[in-house]
């Protein structure tokens, strides 16, 4: 009698890969600048060798079209940034910006952020992790797909330096409340909010066009910033 192989339950992903349509400019950037800025998820890198220096390291998960990441990196040339995004049009757009603006302190993974954090980022190495306007998975049956959950908070604890921080921003109030609850239950992270809930938008987080439009329409935005003890 053959014993069936034991199956390993598949991790619930917080994203769905959508190919999207590439503009000619994005395709050109992918063709010409991928090898300069993009990292291979199968390779183990030394971060200091990647950037050619030792500097505070920040990760942005799901950078979208890369506008905010490019602005932060340009405004902070003394810091290094790794952006992670699964959608190639966004990667192509960021590559265009990095090349046009001669920004050298950014590298990119086009891959699952959780796998990169687990397998390619050293423990106690990150000064900050940014998660700006993640997919809220607003239907209740999809809440299990939200990236901020207890297992993710445990991963943050491993990867952040002491004094490092996690900064999330969302325009979905329900998701803001859910993130606040999960993060507040951590024994290793402390809320930097003076009121123990949400923070004013710090200057280092650029306003996106989408966010500016939402604010004009009266939509709220909630920033959560927790630091590692």
The band of 228, judged by pLDDT with boundaries at 50, 70 and 90, is very high
Higher-pLDDT residue of 63 and 9 is: 63
Predicted local confidence at residue 33, as pLDDT: 98
pLDDT at residue number 210: 75
The pLDDT value given to residue 175: 94
| Residue 208, pLDDT score | 81
Structure tokens at 206: 């650029």
Give the pLDDT mean for 145-160.
95
How sure is the predictor about 142, in pLDDT bands with cuts at 50, 70 and 90? very low
**What is the model's pLDDT at position 139?**
59
The token pair at 49 is 């060798």
pLDDT above 70: residue 13: no
pLDDT in tens, 114-126: 999 999 999 999 9
Please state which of the ranges 16-20, 51-55, 64-68, 216-220 shows the lowest mean pLDDT: 16-20
66-93 average pLDDT score: 97
What is the pLDDT at residue 135? 85
Please identify which of the residues 40, 46, 80, 135 carries the catalytic annotation: 135
**What's the pLDDT at 226?**
98
Q: How confident is the model at residue 14 (pLDDT cuts 50, 70, 90)?
A: very low
Domains (ranges, CATH) in the chain? 47-228 (3.40.50.150)
The model's pTM is 0.89
Q: Is 135 a catalytic residue?
A: yes
pLDDT at 143: 57
pLDDT at 10: 47
Q: pLDDT category, 15, cuts 50, 70, 90?
A: very low
Return the pLDDT at 17.
52
Q: What is the mean pLDDT of residues 55-68?
A: 97
**How far, CA to CA in Å, does 71 sit from each of 14, 97, 126, 168, 203?**
26, 9, 19, 17, 11
Calculate mean pLDDT across residues 197-213.
90
């Amino acid at each position: 009698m053959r014993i069936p192989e034991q199956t390993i339950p598949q991790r619930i992903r917080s994203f769905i890969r959508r190919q999207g349509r590439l503009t000619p400019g994005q395709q050109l950037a992918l063709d010409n600048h991928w090898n300069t800025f993009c990292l291979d998820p199968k390779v183990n890198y030394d971060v200091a060798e990647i950037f050619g220096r030792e500097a505070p390291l920040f990760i942005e998960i799901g950078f979208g079209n890369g506008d905010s990441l490019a602005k932060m990196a340009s405004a902070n040339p003394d810091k290094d940034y790794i952006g992670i995004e699964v959608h190639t049009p966004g990667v192509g757009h960021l590559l265009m910006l990095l090349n046009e603006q001669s920004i050298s302190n950014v590298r990119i993974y086009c891959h699952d952020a959780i796998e990169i954090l687990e397998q390619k980022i050293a423990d106690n190495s990150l000064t900050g992790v940014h998660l700006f306007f993640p997919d809220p998975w607003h239907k209740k049956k999809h809440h299990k797909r939200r990236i901020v959950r207890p297992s993710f908070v445990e991963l943050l604890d491993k990867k952040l330096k002491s004094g490092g921080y996690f900064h999330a921003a969302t325009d979905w109030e329900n998701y803001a409340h859910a993130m606040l609850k999960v993060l507040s239950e951590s024994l290793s992270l402390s809320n930097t909010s003076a009121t123990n809930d949400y923070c004013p938008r710090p200057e280092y987080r650029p306003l996106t066009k989408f966010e500016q439009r939402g604010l004009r329409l009266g939509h709220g935005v909630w920033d959560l910033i927790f630091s590692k003890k």
